Amino acid sequence: MTRTPEITLREYEPSDGEAILDAFNRVFAGVQQGFEARTLAEWRWRFVDNPAGGRASLALDEHGRVLAQYAGLGVRILLEGEEALISQSVDSFCDPRVRGGLARAGLFVQAGRSYAERHGFDGAGEDRMMYGLPVPAAWRVGRDQLQYSMLSPLWRLESQAEAFAALRADTDVGVDVTSNVPQGVDALFAKTCAAEPARVIKDRRYLAWRYDERPNVNYQWLVAQREGELVGWMVLVAGQVEGRQALWILDGLVETGDEGALRALLARAARLARASGLDTLAQVTTDACAEWQVLQDLGFWVVPGSYSFAGRSYMPRRPVAWWAEHLALSLGDTDLL
Amino acid sequence: MSVALEIRPLREGDEQSLLATFEAAFGRNLSPQAWHWAFRQNPAGTQVQVALRGEQVVAQYAALPSRVWMDGQARVFSQVVDSMVHPSERGGLGRQGTFARTAQAFFEDHSLNGPGGGEVSLFYGWPLPANRRIGERLLGYERCGRQHALARPVEALSDPAPSSLAELNVEELSGFDDQAQWLWERCAREMEVGTVRDGAWLLWRYICHPVHTYTCLGVRDSEGILRGLAVCRAVEREGQLLASVVDWLVPSAEPEVGSQLLAAVELKARQWSCDALALWMPPFSLWFAWFQTQGFQMHPTSWQRVVRSFDRRVGSALLSEGWWYQLGDSDLV
CA distances (Å), origin A110, targets A105, A313, B183: 6, 19, 51
- Closest residue by Cα to residue B162 from B262, B229, B255: B262
Chain B touched by A187 (CB under 8 Å): no
Q: Is residue B314 part of a domain?
A: no
B162 shares a domain with B235: yes
Boundary (domain end) residue, out of A147, A173, A200:
A147
B160 shares a domain with B136: no
Chain A touched by B132 (CB under 8 Å): yes
| Cβ–Cβ below 8 Å for B292 and A297 | no
Give the angle subtended at the CA of A313 by the CAs of A117 and A103, to the nearest 5°.
40
A293: nearest CB among B132, B297, B320: B297
A288 shares a domain with A164: yes
Chain A touched by B295 (CB under 8 Å): no
Residue B281's closest chain A neighbor by CA?
Answer: A304
B295 shares a domain with B168: yes
| Cβ–Cβ below 8 Å for B148 and A287 | yes
Chain B touched by A40 (CB under 8 Å): no
Mean pLDDT of the region B168-194:
92
| Cβ–Cβ below 8 Å for B316 and A136 | yes
Q: Which residues does chain B have within 8 Å of residue A143's beta carbon, measured at their own beta carbons?
A: 142, 316
Domain range spanning residue A108? Answer: 8-147
Q: Which residues does chain B have within 8 Å of residue A288's beta carbon, measured at their own beta carbons?
A: 300
B82 to chain A, minimum CA–CA distance in Å? Answer: 22
3-state secondary structure at position B229: strand
| Cβ–Cβ below 8 Å for A151 and B148 | no
Q: Which residues does chain A have within 8 Å of residue B143's beta carbon, measured at their own beta carbons?
A: 149-150, 320-321
- Closest residue by Cα to residue A149 from A329, A331, A324, A277: A324
| Cβ–Cβ below 8 Å for B145 and A150 | yes
CB B58 within 8 A of CB B86: yes
Any residues with CB less than 8 A from the CB of A59 and at least 6 apart, and which? A7, A8, A9, A66, A67, A68, A69, A94, A107, A110, A111
B163 shares a domain with B282: yes
A187 shares a domain with A124: no
B298: nearest CB among A140, A302, A324: A302
- Per DSSP, the residues of B140-170 read --EEEEEEEEEEEE-PPPSSPPP-STGGGTE
Question: Tens digit of pLDDT for each residue in B208-263?
Answer: 999 999 999 999 999 999 999 999 999 998 899 999 999 999 999 999 999 999 99
Rounded-to-integer distance, Cα B307 and Cα A258, Å? 40
A292 to chain B, minimum CA–CA distance in Å? Answer: 9
| Cβ–Cβ below 8 Å for A287 and B300 | yes
Boundary (domain end) residue, out of A84, A114, A147:
A147
Mean pLDDT of the region B264-283:
95
Any residues with CB less than 8 A from the CB of A279 and at least 6 apart, and which? A160, A161, A162, A273
B146: nearest CB among A139, A293, A325: A325
Average pLDDT score over chain A: 91
CA distances (Å), origin A75, targets A84, A200, A210, A337, B88: 8, 7, 11, 17, 46
Q: Which residues does chain B have within 8 Å of residue A141's beta carbon, measured at their own beta carbons?
A: none
**What pLDDT is stored for residue B317 in this prediction?**
80
CB A314 within 8 A of CB A120: yes
A262 shares a domain with A195: yes
- Per DSSP, the residues of B43-63 read TT--EEEEEEETTEEEEEEEE
B311 to chain A, minimum CA–CA distance in Å? Answer: 14
**What pLDDT is stored for residue A207 in this prediction?**
98
Q: Which residues does chain A have within 8 Å of residue B129's beta carbon, measured at their own beta carbons?
A: 321
Q: Is residue B294 part of a domain?
A: yes
Chain A touched by B148 (CB under 8 Å): yes
Q: Which residues does chain A have within 8 Å of residue B299's beta carbon, measured at their own beta carbons?
A: 293
Beta carbons within 10 angstroms of residue A191's beta carbon? 13
For residue A120, what pLDDT band results from cuts at 50, 70 and 90?
A: very high
Beta carbons within 10 angstroms of residue A208's beta carbon? 14
Rounded-to-integer distance, Cα A157 and Cα A331, Å? 11
Q: With 90 as the cut, is the pLDDT of residue B168 above it?
A: no
A210 shares a domain with A112: no
A88 shares a domain with A60: yes
Tell me how many residue pairs between chain A and chain B have CB atoms under 8 A apart.
58
**What pLDDT is stored for residue B148 in this prediction?**
94
Whether this prediction's pTM lies above 0.90 is answered by no
Q: With 90 as the cut, is the pLDDT of residue B272 above it?
A: yes
Q: With 50 as the cut, is the pLDDT of residue A210 above it?
A: yes
| Cβ–Cβ below 8 Å for B145 and A301 | no
A248 shares a domain with A129: no
* SS3 sequence of chain A: CCCCCCCEEEECCHHHHHHHHHHHHHHHHHHCCCCCCCCHHHHHHHHHCCCCCEEEEEEECCCCCEEEEEEEEEEEEEECCEEEEEEEEEEEEECHHHCCCCCCCCHHHHHHHHHHHHHECCCCCCEEEEEECCCHHHHHHHHHHCCCEEEEEEEEEEEEHHHHHCCCCCCCEEEEEECCCCCCHHHHHHHHHCCCCEEECCCHHHHHHHHHCCCCCCCEEEEEEECCEEEEEEEEEEEEECCEEEEEEEEEEECCCCHHHHHHHHHHHHHHHHHCCCCEEEEEECCCCCCHHHHHHHCCEEEEEEEEEEEEECCCCCCHHHHHHHEECEHHHCCCC
Question: Which residues numbered 70-129 in B keep a CB inside 8 Å of some CB on A?
Answer: 129
Q: Is residue B285 part of a domain?
A: yes
Among B297, B307, B314, the strongest candidate for a mutation testing the A interface, having the largest count of A CBs within 10 A, is B297
A48 shares a domain with A188: no
Beta carbons within 10 angstroms of residue B162's beta carbon? 17
A324: nearest CB among B145, B320, B321: B145
B295 shares a domain with B153: yes
For residue A67, what pLDDT band results from cuts at 50, 70 and 90?
A: very high
* SS3 sequence of B313-324: CCCHHHHHHCEE
CB B56 within 8 A of CB B39: no
A304: nearest CB among B142, B283, B316: B283
B110 shares a domain with B63: yes
Q: Which residues does chain A have within 8 Å of residue B292's beta carbon, measured at their own beta carbons?
A: 301-302
Q: Is residue A327 part of a domain?
A: no
**What pLDDT is stored for residue B259 in this prediction?**
95
**What pLDDT is stored for residue A333 in this prediction?**
95
Q: Is residue B11 part of a domain?
A: yes
Question: Tens digit of pLDDT for each residue in B91-118?
Answer: 766 778 899 999 999 999 999 999 999 9
Q: Is residue A324 part of a domain?
A: no
Q: Is residue A23 part of a domain?
A: yes
Any residues with CB less than 8 A from the CB of B13 and at least 6 apart, and which? none
Chain B touched by A5 (CB under 8 Å): no
Q: What's the number of domains chain A is made of?
A: 2
Alpha helix segments (H runs only) across chain B: 15-26, 32-39, 98-110, 129-138, 178-188, 199-202, 255-271, 286-293, 316-321
Boundary (domain end) residue, out of B140, B167, B198:
B140
For residue A102, what pLDDT band results from cuts at 50, 70 and 90?
A: very low
B71 shares a domain with B27: yes
CA B118 to chain CA centroid, nearest Å:
21
ipTM associated with this complex: 0.81
Chain B touched by A136 (CB under 8 Å): yes
| Cβ–Cβ below 8 Å for A153 and B283 | yes
Rounded-to-integer distance, Cα A29 and Cα B220, Å? 56
Q: Is residue A334 part of a domain?
A: no
Choice among A136-145, B191-200, B291-300 with the minimum mean pLDDT: A136-145
**What pLDDT is stored for residue B160 in this prediction?**
66
| Cβ–Cβ below 8 Å for B143 and A139 | no
| Cβ–Cβ below 8 Å for A304 and B284 | yes
DSSP state, B264?
H
Mean pLDDT of the region A16-44:
93
Question: Within chain A, what is the greatest distance between any pair of CA atoms?
Answer: 77
Boundary (domain end) residue, out of B140, B172, B187:
B140
Mean pLDDT of the region A209-233:
96
CB A254 within 8 A of CB A304: no
Domain range spanning residue B99? Answer: 5-140
Q: What is the dihedral of CA A314, A209, A196, A252, to 10 degrees?
A: -130
Give the CA radius of gyration of chain A.
21
**What pLDDT is stored for residue A226 in this prediction?**
94
For residue A241, what pLDDT band results from cuts at 50, 70 and 90?
A: confident
B298 shares a domain with B152: yes
Q: Is residue B256 part of a domain?
A: yes
A136 shares a domain with A63: yes
- Residue B89: φ, ψ to 5°: -105, 5
Return the CATH number at A279.
3.40.630.30
Chain B touched by A296 (CB under 8 Å): yes
- Closest residue by Cα to residue B41 from B175, B181, B206: B206
How would you classify the pairing of strands B193-195 and B226-237? unpaired
| Cβ–Cβ below 8 Å for A302 and B316 | no
| Cβ–Cβ below 8 Å for B142 and A304 | no
Mean pLDDT of the region A274-294:
92
**What pLDDT is stored for residue A139 in this prediction?**
85
- Closest residue by Cα to residue B160 from B10, B263, B273: B263
| Cβ–Cβ below 8 Å for A293 and B299 | yes
CB B40 within 8 A of CB B46: yes
Rounded-to-integer distance, Cα B210 and Cα B213, Å? 8
Q: With 90 as the cut, is the pLDDT of residue A101 above it?
A: no
Among B287, B298, B306, B309, the strongest candidate for a mutation testing the A interface, having the largest count of A CBs within 10 A, is B298
CA distances (Å), origin B46, targets B38, B81, B82: 8, 12, 13
A296 to chain B, minimum CA–CA distance in Å? Answer: 7
**What pLDDT is stored for residue B161 in this prediction?**
75
Q: Which residues does chain A have within 8 Å of residue B317's beta carbon, measured at their own beta carbons?
A: 136
**What pLDDT is stored for residue A103 in this prediction?**
43
